[in-house]
Amino acid sequence: MRTEGLWGGAAALGSVSVAFGSMLWSQQKTKPEKAATGSNHADTNADSPYELKLVQILFRHGARTPLKSIPDIMEAQWVPTLLEPPPHTSIDYVVTDLQGGPRPPAPIEDSYRKNILSGGTFPGQLTTLGMQQLYELGKRLRGRYIEESDFLTSTFNPAEVYVRSTNIVRTIESAKCLVAGLFQQKQKAIVPILTSEAESEILYPNYHGCKMLKILCGHRWAESTTLPDIAADLQSIQSELGIAAHQKVDFILIRDDMVARETHGLPCPQVLDTWRDKVEQRAVDMMCHIFEPSKRESLQLSVGPLLHMLVDNIEEKLQGTSSEPSRKVFLYSAHDTTLIPCLLALGIFDMRWPPYAADLTVELHQNRKTNEAFVKVSYVGEDQLIRGCSAVYCPLEEFKQILSTYSLSPDDYHSHCNRTVGPTEP
């Protein structure tokens, strides 16, 4: 079992810089959060006019310890017993780089482990509850892709299923727990979980690997806290919580600690009871301002390479050029700050923070009679009508046209990231 090695060496965008750190790994919904649930009613049986060919699932990790406690208030006790793995989430797995070599250095996780929360655990760690949430997501996917159809075999096969995660312990462990639920711990080989070098990671907005993204979003981040409504509400909540004026706080940080406490049944300042919905609203307002959905470049640089990869996987499947012709499923273990810009790019963000274990699923179907390709997208188990698509089963050419606004090839991404002149917007 490869579990103990995950607890050393890895690092959080959050800790590298206070501003970006709070944003990058901020969290969840405003009520004590359960794993995302939903029912996908699409056909996977032989009577459907569509044949399922490929599934790509981008999902958020499960419940975790906070990244940082709200200052000047009573701290919750994040004790080690909250992080014990349930036996049914155990599988044999190994973490590698994208080529199958040794796991890369993990500076984000390393930065977490420079701090200890009250109670004795590190910030940003997957809890027992979070592990169970991903196991339950795996079981839901099992129902759709194994029990209701024979799309996948019932035992993990690396030729069929590709697993990639950000190089952070909570996402690696989330991937492990999802696979345990999906295959009920049955595997014909060790499960490889692939990770990228921090500088080239594309499964989150990479402020440290993309200079232009850091410039764009750094400006928008600072600006977001000075917007009149947000600034007024922030001043009010700081006063009611008794947070000293010199403390650097924002609604994303407050939300992160608040939701983590509530989800795990830990005490929360009573003042937050009346602020819960407002904290949610302002945190989302901040994210929308930071990513500038009305403009193009911020979303391009945040998730452009990821969207390009999703389309590439579809094209390779249709053209039969994949190096793994038997591959049917791509699993990508990521973050809320991955899902939000993806949802914005697709025009389906519902102005709610993505819950723990939320999944954005992209299915490739072919018409059994005409062989025409269609893409169907679901979010937390519910089918979505993508902005610009003529139907839920979106013709592939329509889908590609929509994504082309934000998708960036690796070369174009690096070219945009390294520009030194001011950004231009179409």
Active site residues: 61, 336
Torsion of CA 130, 302, 377, 59, to 10 degrees: -10
Question: For residue 270, how many other CB atoms are within 10 A of its CB?
Answer: 7
In degrees rounded to 5, what are phi and psi of residue 422?
-65, 155
Alpha helices in 38-86 (DSSP H): none
Tokens coding 80 = 């080690």
Tell me, rounded to whole angstroms, the distance of Cα 65 from its chain centroid.
Answer: 16
Encoding tokens for residue 105? 């250095």
Q: What span, in angstroms and rounded, lies between the C-alpha atoms of 359 and 204?
A: 15
Q: Please state, in angstroms and as integers, the Cα–Cα distance from residue 75 to each residue in 66, 195, 400, following that order.
A: 11, 33, 48
Nearest to 355 by CA among 130, 60, 39, 22: 60
SS3 at position 158:
coil
The number of helices, as runs of H, and strands, as runs of E, in the chain is 13, 9
